């Protein structure tokens, strides 16, 4: 094993000598280019002009992001169910039904976001700037979860990233909708979704802790 490692190290060092830097510049050159592009560039997206107030428009932007993220979350949990089907679970880990329950919550939240966008006079088929940003930021999660080599525990390590974002984003949405003075009944639906997301985060944390305990037990 040590022999393979030293051979690999030697090859890596040969590679460094063979494929040296293609420029004499350093990171400051990249930074200067970034700043120049940022100053000259346009925003990543804008909301289409509407008759709505700025506060409603801001809430619609965030709702667009929730719709996109919850739809993806539904698929992420379906991929996680496949991990249980492929590898089984572990002591203290999620059952298939636990994951299906959360999958159904995510789906319900996507439908809720869609309904709220319509209720505020928006178009649920529109990709809002915030939705675009979140889709880009979370792109790697799908790669981890749909990779057939990743285990259930590795899938949970990825999905907790989604749940942290989810909890934070529903929280921000409550603030955004309250600022837009939406009807109490709509706000309560969003608060109920936030409570569900807090529960998801708590469950995923518990499962990751159980996996760590199982691994520690196996090592002793």
Taking CB under 5 A as the binding criterion, the range among 73-81, 83-91, 113-121, 127-135 that sits at the site for Fe ion is: 73-81
Is 94 a binding residue for Fe ion by CB under 5 A? The answer is no
Least distance to Fe ion, CB of residue 34, Å: 32
Q: Which is nearer to Fe ion, 61 or 163 (CB)?
A: 163
List the x/- string, 164-183, binding to Fe ion by CB under 5 A.
--x-----------------
Q: Decide if 69 contacts 165 (C-beta within 8 A).
A: yes
Nearest to residue 66, comparing CAs of 106, 12, 93? 106
DSSP H helices in the chain: 2-18, 27-40, 54-87, 96-119, 129-137, 139-146, 152-179, 184-219
Is 57 a binding residue for Fe ion by CB under 5 A? The answer is no
Sites for Fe ion among residues 133-162 (CB under 5 A): none
The dihedral formed by the CA atoms of 171, 175, 177 and 182, expressed in degrees to the nearest 10: 120
* Total chain residues near Fe ion (CB under 5 A): 8
Half-sphere exposure for 214 (CA within 13 Å, toward CB) = 12
User: Which residues sit at the interface with Fe ion, rule CB under 5 A?
Assistant: 70, 73, 106, 109, 163, 166, 197, 200
């Amino acid at each position: 094993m040590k022999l393979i490692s030293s051979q690999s190290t030697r090859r890596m060092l040969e590679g460094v000598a063979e494929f040296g830097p293609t420029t004499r510049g350093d990171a400051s050159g990249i930074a200067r280019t970034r700043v120049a592009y940022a100053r000259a560039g346009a925003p990543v997206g804008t909301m289409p002009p509407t008759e709505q107030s700025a506060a409603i428009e801001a809430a619609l932007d965030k709702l667009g992001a929730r719709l996109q993220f919850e739809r993806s979350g539904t698929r992420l949990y379906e991929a996680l169910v496949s991990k249980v089907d492929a590898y089984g679970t572990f002591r203290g880990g999620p059952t298939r039904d636990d994951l299906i329950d959360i999958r159904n919550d995510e789906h319900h939240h996507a439908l809720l976001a869609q309904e709220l966008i319509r209720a505020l006079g928006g178009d649920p088929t529109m990709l809002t700037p915030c939705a675009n940003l979140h889709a880009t930021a979370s792109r790697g999660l799908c790669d981890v979860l749909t990779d057939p080599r990743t285990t259930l525990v590795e899938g949970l390590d990825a999905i907790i990233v989604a749940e942290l974002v989810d909890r934070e984003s529903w929280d921000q949405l409550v603030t955004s909708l309250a600022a837009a003075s939406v009807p109490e009944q709509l706000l309560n639906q969003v608060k109920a979704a936030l409570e569900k997301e807090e529960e998801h985060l708590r469950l995923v944390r518990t499962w990751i802790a159980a996996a760590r305990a199982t691994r520690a037990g196996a090592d002793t």
